Amino acid sequence: MSFIKEFWEFLRIRKKYWLLPIIIVLVIFGGLIVLTQGSAVAPFIYTIF
């Protein structure tokens, strides 16, 4: 719960509410991806994340 509160604070302070729908969709689809695969490993060449 504290995560949701902190993330909401973040969106509020940064005034980035428009990111919210993307995040909700992401959480749903991301959740599916996570559930259907093993480990999340960053690609080896270069990651900006």
Partner 1 sequence: MTSILGISAFYHDSAACLLKDGKIIAAAQEERFSRKKHDPRYPHNAVEFVLKYSNMKLSEIDQIVFFEKPFLKFERLLETYVAFAPRGFASFSKAMPIWIKEKLFQKNLLFNKLKEHDENFKSDENIFFSDHHLSHAASAFFPSPFEEAVVLTADGVGEWATTTVAVGKKNDLEIKKEIHFPHSLGLLYSAFTYYTGFKVNSGEYKLMGLAPYGNPIYEAKVKELVDIKDDGTFRLDQKYFNYATGLTMTNKKFHNLFGQKPRDSKNERITQFHMDIAASIQKVTEEIMIKLAKVVRQEYNIENLCLAGGVALNCVANGKILQEKIFDNIWIQPAAGDAGGSLGAALALWHIEHKKERVINLNDDMKGSFLGTEFNQEEIEKELKLAGANFETFHYEDLISKTAEFLSNEKAIGWFQGRMEFGPRALGARSILGDPRSDKMQKNLNLKVKYRESFRPFAPSILREDLSDWFNINVDSPYMLLVADVSSNKKIEMNEEQKKLFGIDKLNIKRSEIPAVTHVDYSARIQTVTKETNKPYYDLISKFKEKTGCPVIVNTSFNVRGEPIVNSPTDAFNCFMGTELDYLVVGNCILEKSKQDPKLKKDYTKKFELD
Per CB under 8 A, residues contacting partner 1 are: 3, 6-7, 10, 14, 16, 19, 22-23, 26-27, 29-31, 33-34, 37, 40-43, 45-49
Q: In which residue are the tokens 């599916």 written? A: 32
Q: How far is the CB of 34 from partner 1 (least distance, A)?
A: 5
Min. distance of Cβ 23 from partner 1 in angstroms?
7
Dump the DSSP string for 7-27.
HHHHHHHHT-TTHHHHHHHHH
DSSP structure string for 22-36: HHHHHHHHHHHHHHH
Least distance (Å) from partner 1 to the CB of residue 39?
9
